[in-house]
Amino acid sequence: MEKLIDQFSFGLFFWQILIFVGLVLLLRKFAWKPILGAVNEREEGIKTALASAEDARREMENLQASNEKLLQEARNEREVMMKEAREIKAKMIADAKEEAQNEANKMIGQAQAAIESEKKAAMAELKNHVAELSVQIAEKVVKKELSSKDQQLELVDTMLADAKLN
């Protein structure tokens, strides 16, 4: 170290400082500014990318929420449509049952009316037949002029046995 101090020269020191300052100025102008600019530009790019990623994440969350809302609305609409379809189905079945019941009642009524008319016709025919038989018996009784009551009863019994009910 002592040797350095003995050989110290102000001229060499001056030129070394001047070269050093010049080198620092040259590096500052041509190296540090572009390097710092590139570092700052990269930092800004990273900040922009992070902000874009955050925006994209928020947008995805919004889209997911919107999709969930749309899905829920679609589910609700489907449930309403299914409920309406079930109601329509139940109404159609009830209408069909009611129509079938009305048709059955109508047919039963017609059948009862037909039975009643047949019954009346049979009764009328039976009355006519009984009347004819009565007239025939009366004719025979009058023709015979029976004197005793026993003979009249015997004749009526015989005629009733001979008469066939058609």
Instruction: Dump pLDDT digits (tens) for 17-27.
Output: 999 999 999 88
Is 42 contained in some domain?
Answer: yes
The answer to whether residue 121 sits within a structural domain is yes
Residue 1 covered by a domain = no
Residue 103 lies in a domain: yes
Which residue has better confidence, 148 or 47? 47
Give 73's pLDDT tier (boundaries 50, 70, 90): very high
For residue 6, being part of any structural domain is answered with no
Q: Is residue 122 part of a domain?
A: yes
Spatial separation of the C-alpha atoms in residues 89 and 81, rounded to whole Å: 12
Examine residue 60 and state whether it is found in any structural domain, yes or no.
yes
How many independent structural domains does the chain possess? 1
What is residue 162's predicted lDDT score, i.e. its pLDDT? 77
**Structural domain includes residue 3:** no
CB 146 within 8 A of CB 155: yes
Q: pLDDT tens digit string along 99-123? A: 999 999 999 999 999 999 999 999 9
Write down the pLDDT at residue 46.
95
- Domain of 153 in residue numbering reads as 14-162
Tokens of 83: 């409920």
* Predicted pLDDT at 95: 94
Question: What are the CA-CA distances from residue 25 to residues 18, 36, 38 (Å)?
Answer: 10, 15, 19
